[in-house]
A and B are shown apart, each in its own frame.
Chain A
């Protein structure tokens, strides 16, 4: 299968196979007018199979969202068909409106306008807790 290389844009690589749609939705790539390619189940020496997303336009990628979903993802910035920057992801200290608090007793359940903010409380176990009620992100 042939997919054109991109001139100016972003390649999100090393996505765990099957996770690309989740990332597509979180990054709201449906709102872009440019060409977006979701490539599933690509053979990978390192991962066996992986997904790749190519966005044929310059854009600001929310690295916190990607870092939360999977810090092993790589983000490549392409300019004039040349890889000009490889961004490394880390677990973000805080995520906003990426996941919703599921605790029925949390204030966010009655006050719909509040942002859903989670803080990293344990990097080893990748535990995030709601800043309001301290429930774990699920």
Chain B
């Protein structure tokens, strides 16, 4: 029995397999519609998330399975003071697999140590969000046809953005990757990631505050939201939230085949006029999120 807590616990071969299954699901959806018949997914969301929860639920329904769960801590036994481990043990009795989001870092790992069914980390605070990373990888693969030899620009909140951290860690395992880090000084990528991931893996990278200046180099532009909930004070959030906004004008010098990704939801960091640009992939990315979660559920449930 296996869980998915951290993207790096999957080998690149396993990621390739998941991507291959997701692509097969996209090509042959009918083949998969009863694969999880009589199986149940529990979605335990201790903090609200529309997108991730609905994506998991849609994934399970499309596999013919069923879904139960809660979408905020107040409506769970956590409000009565139950531990994460006890909740996981209990829900293991009702469901075949659990997707858990929790505001505290490490909660899904604690759940996986106690549960008797696989746990999928659906986001633990600012720490890990492996299914978002799988979504990003599938999107890159589908848009660019490869996961190597790419120059990827990460723009916005690189300090608190867990999706950025995980994607950098995941991409650093492929060859020919160059990273461009675009952010205000206050929201730069943490030093340990530069040292322990980029430097350690010999990944070429540069830091800049000027999005337009590096635009022509990029194969992928990964935009992020400056998240209110990751700040300790409101003042810093308000000062930095509009730092980098993508507009059609900024895309003038971009490559024809640039892929613009965003984990969503966006606030205003990508102007809606960019949406019509064929290089805007973020809504296709949402759809990919459902397909890769389907592939992951199949893998963890060991359904052939």
Chain A complexes with chain B: yes
Residues of A within 8 A of B (CB): 103, 105-111, 113-114, 122, 130-134, 136
Greatest chain B CB density within 10 A among A108, A130, A131, A132 is at A132
Chain B residues with CB below 8 A from A106, complex form: 104-106
Residues of B within 8 A of A (CB): 83-85, 102-107, 109-110, 124-127, 192, 196
Interface of B: prevailing SS:
mixed
Q: Are A111 and B196 in contact (CB under 8 A)?
A: no
Q: Are A133 and B84 in contact (CB under 8 A)?
A: no
Chain B residues with CB below 8 A from A111, complex form: 83-85, 104, 110
- Which of B83, B102, B105, B107 is A113 in contact with, Cβ under 8 Å? B83
Alpha-carbon separation in the docked complex, A110 to B106 (Å): 11
Alpha-carbon separation in the docked complex, A109 to B105 (Å): 10
Q: How far is the CB of A96 from chain B (nearest CB, A)?
A: 13
Given that A113-B83, A131-B109, A132-B110 are known contacts, is A107 also in contact with B102, CB under 8 Å in the complex? yes
Given that A105-B125, A113-B83 are known contacts, is A130 also in contact with B104, CB under 8 Å in the complex? no
Chain A residues with CB below 8 A from B110, complex form: 107, 111, 114, 132
Chain B residues with CB below 8 A from A134, complex form: 105, 127
Between A and B, how many residue pairs show CB distances below 8 Å?
45
Alpha-carbon separation in the docked complex, A109 to B102 (Å): 14
Q: How far is the CB of A118 from chain B (nearest CB, A)?
A: 12
List 18 A–B pairs whose Cβ atoms lie within 8 Å, in order of A's numbering.
A105-B104, A105-B125, A105-B126, A105-B127, A106-B105, A106-B106, A107-B102, A107-B104, A107-B109, A108-B106, A111-B84, A131-B109, A132-B106, A132-B109, A133-B105, A133-B125, A133-B127, A134-B127
Q: Are A133 and B196 in contact (CB under 8 A)?
A: no
Alpha-carbon separation in the docked complex, A108 to B102 (Å): 13
Chain A residues with CB below 8 A from B103, complex form: 105
Give the residue name and chain of the A residue nearest to B78 (CB): A110
Give the residue name and chain of the B residue nearest to A108 (CB): B106
Given contacts A105-B126, A107-B107, A133-B125, 16 further A-B contacts (CB under 8 A): A103-B105, A105-B103, A105-B125, A107-B102, A107-B105, A107-B106, A107-B109, A107-B110, A108-B106, A132-B109, A132-B110, A133-B105, A133-B106, A133-B127, A134-B105, A136-B192
Chain A residues with CB below 8 A from B107, complex form: 107, 132
Chain B residues with CB below 8 A from A114, complex form: 110
Greatest chain A CB density within 10 A among B85, B105, B107, B196 is at B105
Alpha-carbon separation in the docked complex, A10 to B207 (Å): 54
Alpha-carbon separation in the docked complex, A106 to B84 (Å): 13
Q: How far is the CB of A107 from chain B (nearest CB, A)?
A: 4
Give the residue name and chain of the A residue nearest to B230 (CB): A105
Q: Are A122 and B196 in contact (CB under 8 A)?
A: yes
Alpha-carbon separation in the docked complex, A105 to B105 (Å): 6
Alpha-carbon separation in the docked complex, A133 to B103 (Å): 12
Give the residue name and chain of the A residue nearest to B6 (CB): A134
Give the residue name and chain of the B residue nearest to A112 (CB): B83
Alpha-carbon separation in the docked complex, A134 to B103 (Å): 15
Chain A residues with CB below 8 A from B104, complex form: 105-107, 109-111
Q: How far is the CB of B286 from chain A (nearest CB, A)?
A: 27
Alpha-carbon separation in the docked complex, A110 to B87 (Å): 15
Chain B residues with CB below 8 A from A108, complex form: 106
Q: Are B196 and A130 in contact (CB under 8 A)?
A: no
- Which of B83, B105, B196 is A132 in contact with, Cβ under 8 Å? B105
Chain A residues with CB below 8 A from B102, complex form: 107
Chain A residues with CB below 8 A from B196, complex form: 122
Alpha-carbon separation in the docked complex, A130 to B103 (Å): 17
Give the residue name and chain of the B residue nearest to A101 (CB): B106
